[in-house]
Structure formats: C-alpha cells, structure tokens
Chains A and B, each alone.
Chain A
C-alpha cells in the first residue's frame, strides 16, 4: 500500500523508472484516494515506444495494479494493439489523472524488487501538474464506405505533461453523430453505416482538462472539444452477362478446338463496374487459379476460364472502386461453368411427323437448358451440336446413325436449346409398331453430354421426358 499523503493535486501524476531484468520485478499501484471516481491513463516510455494503456476509471478507494513483467511476458496489447518487445527490460512508467473535473485524487507507487540483488525500492515521484488533454482526432481522419456497408471509426487523444512532452492516448466521445443521416449514420459504438451515395462528416464530442500552476498549486480548466472527419459514401455495382445464382457471375469453360462448321468456342466473359459518384478508378483482382483477369485497371474486366468450379461461386473476384482516396471493395462470387447437363425445361409440341412417302411416325419438341455440374444454367450462346446413335438392329429398321444437328448452331443467349425429335419408319404405317433405343450425345463448347432415348411409333422419350 502506498505510504504517502495524497497531498496536492499535482501529485495526481507520476513517472517512475521500472526494470524487469534478471529477477527484478516492478509493480505499480495506483489508488483513488479521493471522494469521486477518477480517470487515469498510463504510458510506458522506452526506445521504440510508447506503450499506451487505455484510459480507465477508478472508483473511490479502488486500486489498479500493473506488473510490468507480466505485461511484457503475456504480450498484452495496448489500446492500439501494440505489445512490448519481449527483450525490453526497463523504461519509464508515466501515469496521470486525466479528464476528471473536480477534486479527484489518485496516488501512485512503484515497487522494484530483486531477491538476488537484495533490492527493494519504492518510488513515488510526483511531477508537477497532471497531464492535459485530450485533443481528440479521428484516426484515420477520413472514411470511405459503401451504401449498405459499414466501417468502424477510431480515435485518439493528444496529451501533454507539465513539461510539454506530447503523447498519444485515448479519447472517449460523449456523443458521436453525422451531419447528414441521409448519407451515413453512426452508432454509439462508432460504427459508420452507409445510407446513400454522397458526402458528410462524422463528429465526436469530448471533454478535456488543461492544467496550469501558479508555482504553488495546480488549477484546472475544463472544456468541451470535438473531432470531425469527412465521410464519403460510395457505391460500386457490376454487371456481367450470364449471371449465376442470385448475385454471381459465370464464365463457360471450353474443351479442345471447334469442329468443322462450328462457331468459335466461348471461354471468356466480361464484367463491367459502375462507381458512384463517378470519376474514380477501378481495380479487379482474384486469388483463384480457376480464372485469369485482364484489363484489371479498367471499368470492364475480361474473365477467362481456366478450370471448372467445384461449387457455385467458389471463385472470388474482388472489385475496388476508389474516389479521392476513399475506396470501397465488393466481392463478386464467380463460377466457371463446364457444360455438364442438358436439363429438361418443357415439352412444347408432339404429334405425327410429316414423313416422306411410305413412312410414318411421331415427333416431339423438347426445350433443354444447358447447365453446369451443379445444374446452374449456362447463360451464354454456346456452340452446340449433337449426334444420335441407335442400337441396332431395331424393329424400326433405322440405321445406327440417327439424324443429328451438325456443328454450326449455338444455344440461345440464355443457354436454351430446342430440339425436334422424330422417327419415320415404314413399320409405323397402318397402326404398326416399332421401337428403337439409343444415345444422344451433345457437344457443347467441346464438352460431351450424354442422354438416352426410346422412340416408338407411339411416343418419344428422351432422358426420361
């Protein structure tokens, strides 16, 4: 326990040497011996420092203890996350009553002990007046965020001791608000929320104390201060053909080279960003090896497929829009789509086919949707052709090679493919019957998709439909 009279208010601050080399230990105890709660803050000063402990309030009679070896060895972070170097073994412990108007009183004492050195020292070194401050500042001193996004504000206070040594400490805002809540709002925890595109300012209000002495005693000046920082709310949106899912993009994957008559395979797409307010710059990036990006510093980036996605949206592309030094970044989930399925959409028509003379049979029109392994539609015009191979012999007497679609066509822009199926056989004449089974192979962007079929004089079924 400190063995010292509380004395004048000028004793409500102190600077002690501390050491923790060899078996030395240093423990500092601060005690509120006044009749009102009192705030204090601590700064450990050393080459490469300082280490600034967040402000704390002591209730009447409460004591706070600081074990310097424990702080160092446990690598306890200070108010900004800084830790003491593991090999630091000495420095100065500075503390001060701060931002507590009235007659608050805190006293402090440091105990330095070494059993091997037979040392037990006690320090109670008053300086002059307590430290003055804070002068609050937002840190950083400008904020950029997106509409519907959020960022956390941070702030620090500038303090100076009676020798005008300046240092950074904490600042507590009594209130924090934005000038235009239609642009951005801020909550009590300092979280800024983007509401609409535009600019405003965030303000935090605080109280401060300045001390001066007349050579005999310390006197305080109590005031109010405020810190402000500009807030820029940005919006960046993107569009791409062939979206996947609710909010994702997609690019088709190709395999091999196009066959005779086929349009060129498609394995690229573009994404176009629009930033608001305009006039900023764009940056695209990805850490995925499933795609490559080109023109990454322009509004429109080209995405080229490399390897197939395992899961929908497993390629993360990052889009950053920067205006006047403020940036917003949005993730773009992307999927590399290998044509894997022709998913059934609808049966559009069926009936009797117009067969050549001497033949008759049915037809059926089916619409299919080209899809990837997770059944996501591939919304691109993908070069597609198909072949039909009949099992032979068959009772319809049709040859092994059925009629297919030669290379030259593509799916619709949304990836849909209408197919007309028919069978014309002399076996179907006059109410006759026959049946043929086989497999239809689609080749979409070079990837093979197999479907089985059964055709008879009465019906046509492809892939169960």
Chain B
C-alpha cells in the first residue's frame, strides 16, 4: 500500500488552498479577536484535554485537538496571577502538558503534539482522494469522510459504488444537523477535512485521541482511543458541539 503523507494544506496545490483559505481568512479574524479578549472563566475539569474543551465551548472556539491518549492525566494548575487572555489561558493549560503546540489554521485552533503530528502512522495525515460535500450536515460530512478514507485505503471495495447511509438522533439543539457544510477538494488530509467540517458548521470542535503505542487492526495507523474494546477496526474521532441551544 502506498500512502502519500505530506505536511498540511500549505504544501498542497494552489486550488486546494483557495478552497480552504478564503473562508478561513474571515474565520481567522473573528477567532483572533476571541483569543485576545480577557478570560472571564476558569475550567473546572480534571484533565488538560477536558479543560481545552471547556475553554472552546465557553468562548465558542472552533478547535481541532490531536491528543495523545493518557489515562488519569493530572489536572493542570492554572495560575491566574493576572487576568490572562483566552490565548493565554490555552497556553497555560498546554504549559503543563509538554509537547503540545497551538496554532490557528484556516479559522480553526489546532492543538497537536509535535511527536506524532507529522508521523505517517497518524491517520490524520492520510491524504484522501476526492472529497465533495454539498449542503450536508456534520453527520453527512463525517460519512463522506469515512467513505473517502475507505476508498483511499481499499479502492477495490468501491469500484461499482456504495450504498447505505448514516443516522443521528433527532431533534437536536446543537446545530450539528444543519445542512451548512459545503466544500470540496482533492488530496486533502483527514485533518484538513475535520477542520473544514467544524469551521463550516460553526458550532463544534473535533478531537482525536491517539495511542502511539498501539496499532489499529488491519490498518497501518496508530490506534485511536478504544472505548470498551482493545481491538480497533474503525477510524474514530469525535465532533463535539460548542453550544447546545
């Protein structure tokens, strides 16, 4: 199997960057102002990962989190000697979890660990082929991503076509079912698509918990956090709403 793994979207074709960057500029400006405001809220959860989610939800920050799965991770000590900015708050959380970096990419706050961020066994670096979402909701966009990953890794299974679908609980107040996601591109990474989904949706973040010490069953990638099972066959990520109305 040959998998083309490269850096982020800045390194891919001009067309792809145009698709992703134009809305990203608008979102980035809004995001910068949110990050510059004084923090009026201190996370109360017990782990840095959950603290980041709390901050994202409180300030409505589209975020992508690549986290190394570490059970029983200690709660960060947040030293609030002076009222920090939101950006400062995120820095303080990450200061207690070595190896993590924080950057803004196309309107999404990306948090990753440099030790595996570029690793070819990190499935977020997998470049899928064509991805085309047109007025779909988060669940539809996720389904398209699953199909794209499968088609990239096992093209022989998709020669004639696909069928099936996806489901989700209704009605819902988190906006994940709003058909607001439209974007397309080629040669995108899984990370690019997840970032685009939460940016287009506008009320969500994504998180992937990677277990670098363990591989998926039948796939050449690090396992993701296994919930109730030690054998992982499906790619797993979570999209979490920021605000439930």
With a CB–CB cut-off of 8 A, which chain A residues contact B136? 354
Query: Any chain B CB within 8 A of the CB of A110?
Result: no
Whether A420 lies near B165 (C-beta < 8 A) is yes
**Are A396 and B166 interface neighbours, CB within 8 A?**
no
B50 within 8 A of A: no
B227, A419: Cβ atoms closer than 8 Å:
no
**Chain B residues closer than 8 Å to A417, beta-carbon distance:** 167-170
Within 8 Å CB of A426, what residues of B? 160-161
Residues 348-370 (chain A) with a chain B CB within 8 angstroms: 354-357, 359, 361, 363, 367
**Which A residues are in CB contact (< 8 Å) with B236?**
260-261, 406, 408
Task: Judge whether A396 and B161 touch: CB under 8 Å.
Answer: yes
Alpha-carbon gap, A413 to B173, bound state (A): 10
CA distance A261 to B231 in the complex (A): 12
Total A-B pairs, Cβ < 8 A: 137
Chain A positions within 8 Å of B167 at CB level: 384, 386, 405, 409, 417-420
What per-residue 1/0 map shows which CB atoms of A114-125 lie under 8 Å from chain B? 000000000000
Least distance between A47 CB and chain B CB atoms (Å): 71
The verdict on A232 contacting chain B, using a C-beta distance below 8 Å, is no
Q: Residue-by-residue, is A377-397 near B (CB-CB < 8 Å gives 1, otherwise 0)?
A: 000010010101010000011
Report how many residues on chain A are interfacial, defined by Cβ distance under 8 Å.
52
- Per the bound structure, the CA–CA distance linking A404 and B147 in Å amounts to 10
Give the residues from 182 to 238 in chain B that come closer than 8 angstroms, CB to CB, to chain A: 226-229, 231-232, 234, 236, 238
Contacts of B146 in A (CB 8 A): 403, 406
Chain B 135-164: CB-based contact to A (< 8 A → 1; otherwise 0): 010011001001100010000011111111
A261, A357, A401, A413: residue with the most chain B Cβ atoms closer than 10 Å? A261
Q: For chain A residues 3-46, which have a beta carbon within 8 Å of chain B? A: none
Contact A411 B162 (CB under 8 A): no
A262 and B166 within 8 A (CB): no
Contact digits for A399-437, partner B, Cβ 8 Å, 1 yes 0 no = 101111111111111101111111111111000000010
Q: Which 6 A-B pairs rank lowest in CB-CB distance, beginning with the nearest?
A: A397-B160, A403-B164, A425-B161, A402-B164, A412-B169, A260-B229
Question: Which residues of chain A have a CB within 8 Å of any CB of chain B?
Answer: 257-262, 354-357, 359, 361, 363, 367, 381, 384, 386, 388, 390, 396-399, 401-414, 416-428, 436, 455
B contacts, CB < 8 Å to A = 130, 132-134, 136, 139-140, 143, 146-147, 151, 157-172, 177, 226-229, 231-232, 234, 236, 238
**Listed A/B pairs (29) with beta-carbon separation below 8 Å:** A259-B227, A260-B226, A260-B229, A355-B161, A356-B151, A361-B161, A384-B167, A388-B164, A390-B163, A396-B161, A397-B159, A401-B157, A403-B143, A403-B166, A404-B165, A409-B139, A411-B169, A412-B169, A417-B169, A418-B168, A418-B169, A418-B177, A419-B166, A419-B167, A420-B166, A420-B167, A422-B163, A422-B165, A425-B161
